[in-house]
Structure formats: C-alpha cells, structure tokens
Structure 1
Amino acid sequence: MKLTNLTLLLLFSITLSFGQNITISQNPKYTSSINPKYTAGINPKYTSSINPKYTTSINPKYTSSINPNYTTSINPKYTSSINPKYNSSINPKYTSALDPFYGTGEKKYLFNESADPIGILISANSNIYLYYDLQGEWIGYFVRARTNFNLFSLDGDWTGKYLCSDSKSGYNLFDEDGEWTGSFVK
C-alpha cells in the first residue's frame, strides 16, 4: 500500500513538474476559434493577407526592413540590446521572471499542426520572446521586426524562420521560403 501511494505521489509530482497546464482559452484542442485547422481566417493557406508567400510586406525574403541580414537594428549580432547574451534583462539565466514554469512573464505556446504543444514562448519585453522546449530548456528567441518576429539561435544566428501575425490573437510560423510550417502560437 505504501509503495502504491509513493508511486502515485511520484507520478503526480512528475506530471506537475513537466506537464503543461494550458488554459482552455489558449488551447486550440478545446477552442476551435484559435485553431487554424478550423478557422480559415487565421489559416495562411486560406487567408492570403497573413501569408508571406502572397503578401511580400510580411516576407523577409522580399522586405529588407524585416530581414535581419539587411537590417542591423533587428539583428542581435549587431544590436546588443536585443541579444540576451549581452542584455541580462532578457536573459533567463539572470532574470528569474523569464522562467517558463515559475516566471511571471507572458506565456504563449507553440503548437504543431495537430494542436499539440511543442514549445513555450515567454515575453521578455515587447520586442523579444524567449523560446523554450516543453522541458523548459531555453533553445532560442524571437526578435520583433514590425509585426513579425524572427527566430534566432542562442548564438544570435537567424534561423530563417519567423512568426507572422494571424491577425487575431496569435502567430503562424514560416520557414525562410515563406512556407507555413503548420505550427502556430497562441
């Protein structure tokens, strides 16, 4: 009996430590209006104004002002204020409020096409989202470029991926060719 109780307690503790408690309003499995699979207005396959393949003003490949390879002010390699390596206020190693589980920063989730969570975004400030895997490992960060957010590695290298607003309450993730990855942020 004691072993069973101990096992259940251990499993419960692990679930609390690693499980994501996503609110219903942020969970596309329970709120279809925030799921691009069920809402055409936030799906870039059906809404050209939120698709960088058809709207060049939101495509870094065609708009240099949102491309960090051409605009140093949005490139952390050249602008230390947006580089967590040089700015402790946006570095989770020095700012506990940015912890994905215990911090106080605004939390969003990155979902795959099946609406399963695959990442966590924490707002470091209005221009930076820190990107974590589901275990809480910091793996990158997004830097604002007008209405987009470009994804950078921890070394400050642009991955070519970027978030575009879905014109509602979230973002869709695109690759450098402007192809929607199927992933989205809520």
Structure 2
Amino acid sequence: MSDIILFDYWRSSASYRVRIALNLKGIAYQAVPTDLLTRQQKAPDYVARNPQGLVPMLHIDGHDLSQSLAIIDYLDATRPEPRLIPADPAARAAMLARAMIIIADIHPVNNLRMLHYLKNEMGQDQGAIDSWYRHWIAEGFVALEALAPESGLFGGDAPDLTDVCLVPQVANARRFDLDMTPYPRLSRIDAQLQDIPAFAAAHPERVKPA
C-alpha cells in the first residue's frame, strides 16, 4: 500500500487536477474517496488535518497538503519530471496567468459550496443555477481561447499546468451543457489530452466509487 494518500471526491475538478498530475509523474498513491454530498470533508478528524474542510488533500512525505495548485507546485518541486510549471520566470508567470483563469476565476464561483448557497440561501432554481454555471465558464473560456495555441498543447509538446486544469473544466462545461463551438482551440487541446493515458485514467467515471 502506498504511503501517499489522496483524499478526493470523484467529481471534484480540483481533485481531478491532482489525479492527473500524480499520474503524469508516475506517482503511486492510495485514493480515499471523500464524499462531498454527505459532508465527509467536514468530519472532525478530517478538519483537524485540513481546517478548510475541502478536497483534495494529499498526504505525502509526512505532510498534509491542500489546495490543488499548492499540491501540484509541491509535486513539481520534489518530483520535477515531467515538469508542469516552467522554471523560467517569464514562462512561469505566463503559464500561471492562464491556469489561474480556471483555478481563480471560473472554479471558485462554480464550486459545490457556491451552488448550494445559490439554491438554499438565495432560493434559485436549478435552471438559474445552471445558467450561472455556464456564464462563468464562458467568461473564462473566451479569454483562454484567445490565449490558446493554434497547434499543440498549452505546454507545447507536453502538458503543463494549464492543460492539467483545462480538462476537468471542459468536463464540467459539457456536464452543464455549455456550447463548446466558440472554443475550437480548447476543444482540440482537450481531445488531444484525453488520448494521454495519465489524463484518461484520472477521469471521474474511471475513479467513481462503485
């Protein structure tokens, strides 16, 4: 049994990112499903280790790491091959700017906590919630499409952090019936990435608990 443990939820896009990164780096890990719908992430023993009570959390090298970007940055620093975050400062800044469109702009307003708040506290029906979800993905995808390369991946010949973040977000977009026609470059990149075994193995339907 691996001493690297990933606490995740199969449909969490942040967890999906970390699964992809672990797979790309060939890091074996034990998965511990943490069901957000039954609030297992709020259990006292979990919150004692991760005060935010969110997934993913990766136990590695004696550390309990949270937040997908921080986890992937740690993996890149300690297990740098293949590199997902460029070492060159300018390239690193450009790549992080692209990735943060998803991590910081799209995802936070569309995560499960936000959707529950819209429904339970704000009284919005499912149609309004779905419209909200699509709106914020589209806002980010317009910019990301403009930044996408005409050929190859965001990382060139090999995936980088932007690619790792893109695939889970496109999966969410399709789940909420966002029309992907305006984003041909993002669609092409997503299709290329789906052919990479590390991405395919991390797909929610592949890790969904029985």
TM over 0.5: no
TM-score in terms of structure 2 length? 0.27
**Richer in helix (by share):** 2
Q: Which has the higher contact order (CA 8 A, sep 6+)?
A: 2
Query: Which structure has the larger Rg?
Result: 1
**Richer in strand (by share):** 1
